[in-house]
Amino acid sequence: MAITIAVVALVALNAYVLLAGADFGGGVWDLFATGPRRADQRALIAEAIGPIWEANHVWLILVVVLLFTCFPPAFSGLAIALHIPLTLMLIGIVLRGSAFAFRSYGSSDDAPQRRWGRVFSIASLLTPLLLGVCIGAIASGRIGTMLDQIVRGAPSESFASLYLLPWLSPFTIAVGALVLAVFAFLAATYLTVEATGDALREDFRRRALFAALAVFVTAFLALLLARSRAPRVSAGLIASVWALPLHVLTAVAAIGAILALWFRRWHVARIAAATQVSLILWGWAAAQAPYLVPPSLTVENAAAPRRTQLIFLVTLALGALVLFPSMTYLFRLFKSSRRHETVPTGRNDSV
Amino acid sequence: MGDLLAARSQMAVSLGFHILFAVVGIAMPVLMVIAETRWHRTGDAMYLELAKRWAKGTAILFAVGAVSGTVLSFELGLLWPSFMRFAGPIIGMPFSLEGFAFFAEAIFLGVYLYGWERISPRAHIAAGTVVAISGAASALFVVIANAWMNTPAGFRLQSGSPVDVDPIAAMLTPAAFPEVLHMLLAAYAATGFAVAGIHAMMLLRDRRNAFHRRALAVALIVGVPAAIVQPFSGDISARYVARWQPPKLAAMEGQFRTQAGAPLRIGGIPDVHAERTRWALEIPDGLSLLAFHDPHAVVRGLDAVPRRDWPPVPIVHVAFQVMVALGTYLALLGLWIVLETWRRRDLAANRWLMRAVALASPMGFLCIEAGWTVTEVGRQPWIIFGVMRTSDAVTPMPGLIVPFLAISALYCFLGVVVVWLLYDLVMRSPITRESDGAATAPAAA
Ligand code: HDD
Ligand code: HEM
Ligand code: HEM
């Protein structure tokens, strides 16, 4: 049963990456909006994420709640060891969300608009980086080692070696860069589907292709550094029986996404990109299994009492019954191909 | 500042900030749905304008509520990892249910805010209704989790760890019903009067402004009944505290000695060293009567527990007095409004009434902050009453003052911005006069 719940956690994380990740990526492209159509680019991004970002954001909360309900030692351990990067990430989340709302609903004067846009986009850039750093720190296994030290009460260790160095290394930064690249790639690819005109679509096609390259480079770098910094995950990704099929599938999806972008098959590109990103995530999880926080907390030994797990799964099933129809409704309403009728004036017109 | 104090302060700031926005997220959808329904009933376009303007403000507040809530769900672990390790499996259930309420709320708020032109009016009102219901449900579930911290149940202690965990029993603790009822009423009373107060202020400047008249009426429909019922709900809360958390009641009342026929103290400052409460107006037998409905009942004082188990008495006492005083004001004001309405008087023409409503604007929110201070500080030194001490729950990381200052600065900044944006929004409201006829309302859709 604990395995089922761990899989659910991964599904929720996957949803967060594919949905909210693209919202963050949108913020990144807001920062890098350039050329004659920069205002249109920003308007398209704002229109794309406006109605959905809060719902997408809830996936993260679901992951957190799931973790502390079903794997409490893992939650409290991560919260201790990753206190600093998580706090920084939260500040990013707060600034991203509120700046976006302030820009969308606040005064329509130019200067505050631009100021909030800047806060929104910079926070959108930093938050994924920190998320990636946290994931990299877990994968590296150094968090787990440090936790064992804290529990044993290691007074001789310095603050930095307990709370700073375990998550700050070239490897974790590479994973941070990978997550950022992935989010930017997803956003640009989705935006090619949602763009209202051909010129705008070409803007995002170029961005998507560029981001695909960045994903490739950062993924390669992370994998390279993993050999010395995250040996367990690295070994899993290289030596397991499933390693080869996984890499082949990921490569097919990646090349498929690039080809689809190249030949302007926007919908195909969107699916291929989402598949590629999901495979990267599941590859990490499979390589790290059965550990939640290597080297000591596993899915089994960190699990909550069976009764809690059971009730949690029932709750989840009931919740899903409400959630999925509502989610579908939301996306049908705002993401279907009605875009060509409405003019994206960006803000204020819809409320 | 020590690490424990920094952690407690950070929790207090984060919760005290979040609750303001959460409360708006619970009650504003109700106001908007009422306004929109009236627009359909009467065809008066100004009600539509009202719903749209309120929606703008709510969108800003809701976003800040969502992100500050996210901060909280991480902070539970960041600051209190041992608590969450212990309590996670026991009270994870209400938090999970709350997660689905958030989903419903966020999804249908998106539909509501961006769907004016895309869905039928009926579907639009339905979306608003779902937001209102799921807002109340979020509050229900999270307050149930808090109730468990006050009256823990649903597990057995075995050498310091919980066994026989029963998450359902943990949701149905004695504190759950009174706390949830009181919190929901508080949300409607506070928001209703806050909004009514703002529009009353505008009416004091411009008595015949049709827009603000309608806004006032809708806000009072939500605020007044809740404010009138609130003291009764507060009585239920006080009686559960008297039964289940005697040290908290003693701190609320400044009752140092165990005593039959204890007096009710109004005002006053508890002096912890002298173990008495000075300068209070004492009503003989009042406390015994209120807390146990028996003038001779024995009320356990702080002397019934060891000193190290005392909560910070002055804070709890003063916070309680503030809540009751302001709550009484709101309830009396509510009765006055009912009376005036019953006599078919024009509320907006009564300048004294409008002044009183304007004055009430911040009061509900002050009550909420004060009430939560009573609940949370009154539970100290326990994080789980009688089971785990707050000092045993705090994270081992040193230097907690840094995140505390960072979060406080961030929230101060956001608070200022939000107030400024809302001020701007209110000041740009339409100035149609009643005699001009509602038909010329600006931006009529
Ligand atoms: C508009 C807000 C508001 C108003 C007018 C009142 N309260 Fe309140 N009170 C709250 C808002 C609130 C609150 C913030 O919502 C609390 C904190 C926890 C809770 O359940 O409700 C609370 C807690 C709270 C508690 C502590 C419960 C606990 O520790 O679990 C008591 C005994 C009362 N209240 C009693 C009263 C009385 C006798 C009132 C008489 C007028 C009153 N309240 C008005
Ligand atoms: C430890 C305490 C709390 C935690 C961990 C918490 C967590 C959260 C989270 C994660 C959200 C964001 C949901 C979204 O993205 O839409 C949120 C919003 C909300 N919370 Fe809290 N919360 C806490 C306390 C409270 C309390 C005491 C109340 C109630 C009275 C409350 C009521 C709400 C409501 C109604 C919302 C949605 C409306 C809004 O965002 O403004 N919360 N909370
Ligand atoms: C939103 C309304 C709430 C407010 C304003 C509030 C206020 C506070 C305050 C002032 C403290 C510090 C008390 C002290 O250390 O002296 C505190 C602590 C705490 N609260 Fe609340 N609280 C609220 C709701 C909740 C809810 C719903 C939960 C959980 C489910 C919760 C969980 C905690 C925890 C874990 C602590 C830290 C430990 C402690 O000091 O006991 N609070 N809160």
User: How far apart are the C-alpha atoms of B201 and A44, rounded to whole Å?
Assistant: 39
Minimal Cβ distance to A311: which of B63, B82, B93: B93
Average pLDDT over residues A51-61: 85
Verify whether the Cβ–Cβ distance B165 to A98 is below 8 Å: no
User: How far apart are the C-alpha atoms of A26 and A185, rounded to whole Å?
Assistant: 10
User: How far apart are the C-alpha atoms of B220 and B191, rounded to whole Å?
Assistant: 10
Q: Is the pLDDT confidence value at A21 over 50?
A: yes
Verify whether the Cβ–Cβ distance A93 to B68 is below 8 Å: no
User: How far apart are the C-alpha atoms of B92 and A312, rounded to whole Å?
Assistant: 8
Residue A127 pLDDT: 92
B73, A64 in Cβ contact below 8 A? yes
Residue B379 pLDDT: 95
Verify whether the Cβ–Cβ distance B92 to A97 is below 8 Å: no
Q: Is the pLDDT confidence value at A139 over 80?
A: yes
Query: What's the half-sphere exposure (Cβ side, CA atoms, 13 Å) at B74?
Result: 24
Task: Mark B226-252 as b/e (b = at least 16 C-beta within 10 Å).
Answer: bbbbbeebbeebbbbbbebbbbbbbbb
B234 C-alpha to ligand 1 centroid (Å): 5
Minimal Cβ distance to A107: which of B64, B165, B424: B424
DSSP states of B383-414: EETTTEEHHHHS-S-S-THHHHHHHHHHHHHH
Q: What residues are paired with B382 via a beta bridge? A: B389
Instruction: Identify all chain A residues contacting B109, using CB atoms and an 8 Å cutoff.
Output: 54
Q: Is the pLDDT confidence value at A339 over 60?
A: no
- B151 CB within 6 A, ligand 3: no
- Smallest CA–CA separation between B239 and chain A, in Å? 32
- pLDDT, one tens digit per residue, over A300-328 is 787 778 888 888 889 888 888 888 888 88
Q: Is the pLDDT confidence value at A299 over 90?
A: no
CA B407 to chain centre: 21
Residue type, B211: F
* CA distances in angstroms from A231 to A133, A238, B124, listed in the order given: 17, 10, 54
User: How far apart are the C-alpha atoms of B323 and B231, rounded to whole Å?
Assistant: 10
User: How far apart are the C-alpha atoms of B256 and B258, rounded to whole Å?
Assistant: 7
- Smallest CA–CA separation between B206 and chain A, in Å? 24
Tokens matching residue A62:
């679901």
Q: Where are the alpha helices (DSSP H) in A16-154?
A: 21-31, 38-49, 53-70, 72-81, 83-105, 110-140, 142-152
- Smallest CA–CA separation between A93 and chain B, in Å? 7
SS3 for B119-183 is CCHHHHHHHHHHHHHHHHHHHHHHHHHHHHHHCCCCCEEECCEEECCCHHHHHCCCCHHHHHHHH
A290 C-alpha to ligand 2 centroid (Å): 33
Query: What's the half-sphere exposure (Cβ side, CA atoms, 13 Å) at B118?
Result: 23
DSSP state of B317: H
A10 C-alpha to ligand 2 centroid (Å): 24
Closest residue in A to B428 (Cα) is A107
* CA distances in angstroms from B81 to A72, B39, B76, B439, listed in the order given: 9, 50, 7, 59
When the pLDDT of each residue in chain A is averaged and rounded to a whole number, the result is: 83
DSSP states of B263-276: PEEES-EEETTTTE
A94 C-alpha to ligand 1 centroid (Å): 29
- B11 CB within 6 A, ligand 3: yes
User: How far apart are the C-alpha atoms of B250 and B291, rounded to whole Å?
Assistant: 11
Q: Which of B10, B49, B68, B85 to mutate to test the interface with A (most CBs of A within 10 A)?
A: B85
* Residue with CA nearest ligand 3 atom 26: B146
User: How far apart are the C-alpha atoms of B315 and B367, rounded to whole Å?
Assistant: 14
Compute the residue count for chain B.
445
Closest CA to A120 of A189, A218, A42: A42
Pocket test for ligand 3, best of B4, B11, B382, B385 (most atoms within 8 A of CB): B11
Three-class secondary structure of residue A104 per DSSP: helix
Residue A103 pLDDT: 84
Minimal Cβ distance to B55: which of A80, A100, A351: A351
Rounded percentage of chain A residues whose pLDDT exceeds 90:
13
Residue A247 pLDDT: 85
* Residue with CA nearest ligand 1 atom 6: B327
* Residue with CA nearest ligand 3 atom 5: B16
Residue A154 pLDDT: 62
B214 C-alpha to ligand 2 centroid (Å): 30
Closest residue in A to B110 (Cα) is A51
Closest residue in A to B117 (Cα) is A350
Instruction: Identify all chain A residues contacting B96, using CB atoms and an 8 Å cutoff.
Output: 65-66, 69, 312, 315-316, 319
Q: What is the mean pLDDT of each run of 10 residues along chain B (445 residues)?
A: 90 95 94 93 88 88 91 93 90 90 89 85 90 94 94 86 85 92 97 95 88 92 96 94 92 89 89 83 88 90 89 93 95 94 85 93 96 94 92 88 94 92 80 52 36
Residue B244 pLDDT: 93
- B125 CB within 6 A, ligand 1: no
Return the number of CB contacts < 8 Å for A and B: 213
| Enclosing H/E stretch for B282 | strand B281-283
Q: Pick the range with the lowest mean pLDDT from A153-162, A240-249, B256-265, B280-289.
A: A153-162
A272 C-alpha to ligand 2 centroid (Å): 36
Residue B432 pLDDT: 65
Closest residue in A to B396 (Cα) is A80
C-alpha dihedral sign at B3, B5, B6, B12 = positive
- B378 CB within 6 A, ligand 1: yes
User: How far apart are the C-alpha atoms of A119 and A124, rounded to whole Å?
Assistant: 8
Given the structure tokens 């609940």, which residue do they identify?
B375
What is the CB neighbour count within 10 angstroms for residue B158?
A: 9
* CA distances in angstroms from B119 to B111, B115, B127, B143, listed in the order given: 9, 6, 10, 34
- B68 CB within 6 A, ligand 3: no
Three-class secondary structure of residue A96 per DSSP: helix
What is the CB neighbour count within 10 angstroms for residue B136?
A: 22
Three-class secondary structure of residue A291 per DSSP: strand
Return the domain boundaries, chain A. Answer: 2-339
* Residue with CA nearest ligand 3 atom 8: B12
